[in-house]
């Protein structure tokens, strides 16, 4: 199994098989819509100009979720220099480690951490994020869900170290975060992978509203867990 950094240094979605691109695209859209809603609520409650709202996209990769944060004053951090080079923006990119963030205490209003904590020591990472957040600052986490109904671990295809987390892992830490929002999404059965990409695309189009319904019925049992936590 490859080291996490080596794995992501050579991560190139353009080389993935078509079925995988369709599925990643589908999951990213679900995540995007969920986080857009969450961020809007957070920002509306802050009463601040977008440009005064300081955001850290921690483990930003090549910027798949850039459109979520482009209107704010956002710093993009990742451990992989290669991925940062692929990220289309020129400024505000930092090569660094979530376990030792190169920022002062109490800096950010919001930290996003999308599909990163499953690859690292999540408690150390949460401590670091807590340190760099302002008091009452928000952390939004998306992570592979250990309590998922579908026991297909998303990263199994990639042979990379990952440890799915459960809601309890966040609830039971002694780090001063209050969980203010919890949901999950992505109820796609692995069997869909066998369909040829043309059909897969059509199936996924119709699966999207169903996924939203399943998220309401089977609360917190989707393959991705979404949390919004506030620094106390």
Ligand X SMILES: C[S@@+](CC[C@H](N)C(=O)[O-])C[C@H]1O[C@@H](n2cnc3c(N)ncnc32)[C@H](O)[C@@H]1O
Residue nearest to ligand X as judged by C-beta position = 61
Considering the rule CB under 6 A, would residue 144 count as an interface residue with ligand X?
A: no
Stretch that binds ligand X, among 47-55, 78-86, 173-181, 210-218 (CB under 6 A): 78-86
CA distance 145 to 160: 16
Q: Which listed residue (55, 75, 98, 139) binds ligand X by CB under 6 A?
A: 98
Number of residues binding to ligand X, judged by CB under 6 A: 19
Site for ligand X in 26-65 (CB under 6 A): 59-61, 64-65
Q: How far is the CB of 142 from ligand X (least distance, A)?
A: 7
Give the whole-angstrom CA distance, residue 6 versus residue 80.
8
Torsion angle (degrees, nearest 10) of CA 94, 8, 66, 121 = -70
Residue 152: what are its φ and ψ, rounded to 5°? Answer: -105, 115
CA-CA distance, 206 to 92, in Å (whole number)? Answer: 38
Indicate whether 83 belongs to the interface with ligand X (CB under 6 A).
Answer: yes
* 162 forms part of the interface with ligand X (CB under 6 A): no
Among 78, 109, 153, 211, the residue binding ligand X under the rule CB under 6 A is 78
Should residue 23 be labelled a site residue for ligand X when binding is judged by CB under 6 A?
no
Residue from 81, 99, 180, 210 binding ligand X (CB under 6 A) = 99
Phi-psi region of 186 (alpha: psi -120 to 50; beta: other; left: phi over 0): left
Whole-number Cα distances in Å, 35 to 31, 38, 67? 6, 5, 11
Residue 172 gets which letter from DSSP? T
Q: Does the protein bind ligand X through residue 114 (CB under 6 A)?
A: yes
Q: Does 164 bind ligand X (CB under 6 A)?
A: no
Determine, following the binding rule CB under 6 A, whether residue 160 of this chain makes contact with ligand X.
Answer: no
Instruction: Single out the segment in contact with ligand X by CB under 6 A; choices: 42-50, 93-101, 165-173, 197-205.
Output: 93-101
Query: 76 burial class (0-12, 13-18, 19+ CB within 10 angstroms)?
Result: buried
Q: Is 79 in the site for ligand X (CB under 6 A)?
A: yes
Scan for tokens 């991705």, then name that residue.
Answer: 224
The answer to whether 127 contacts ligand X (rule: CB under 6 A) is no
Q: What whole-number distance in Å separates Cα of residue 74 and Cα of residue 66?
A: 9
Cite the beta strand spans of 79-221 per DSSP E.
93-95, 108-114, 133-144, 177-185
Range in contact with ligand X (rule: CB under 6 A) among 34-42, 109-117, 165-173, 191-199: 109-117
Identity of the residue, 66 or 195, whose beta carbon is nearer to ligand X in the bound complex: 66
- The footprint of ligand X (CB under 6 A) covers 4, 8, 59-61, 64-65, 78-80, 83, 97-99, 114-116, 119-120
């Amino acid at each position: 199994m490859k080291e996490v950094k080596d794995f992501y240094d050579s991560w190139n979605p353009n080389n993935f098989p078509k079925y995988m691109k369709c599925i990643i695209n589908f999951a990213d859209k679900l995540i995007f819509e969920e986080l857009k809603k969450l961020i809007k609520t957070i920002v509306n409650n802050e009463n601040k100009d977008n440009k005064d709202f300081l955001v850290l996209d921690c483990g930003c990769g090549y910027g798949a979720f850039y459109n979520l944060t482009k209107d704010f004053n956002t710093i993009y951090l990742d451990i992989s220099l290669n991925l940062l080079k692929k990220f289309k923006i020129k400024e505000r990119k930092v090569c660094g480690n979530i376990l030792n963030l190169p920022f002062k205490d109490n800096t950010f209003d919001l930290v996003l951490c999308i599909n990163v904590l499953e690859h690292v020591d999540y408690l150390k990472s949460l401590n670091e994020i807590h340190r760099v957040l302002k008091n009452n600052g928000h952390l939004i986490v998306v992570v592979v869900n250990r309590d998922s109904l579908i026991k297909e671990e998303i990263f199994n295809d990639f042979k990379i170290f990952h440890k799915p987390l459960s809601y309890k892992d966040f609830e039971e830490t002694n780090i001063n975060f209050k969980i203010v929002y919890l949901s999950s999404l992505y109820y796609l059965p692995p069997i869909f992978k066998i369909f040829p990409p043309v059909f897969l695309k059509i199936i996924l189009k119709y699966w999207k509203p169903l996924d939203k319904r399943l998220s309401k019925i089977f609360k917190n049992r989707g393959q991705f867990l979404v949390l919004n936590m506030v620094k106390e």
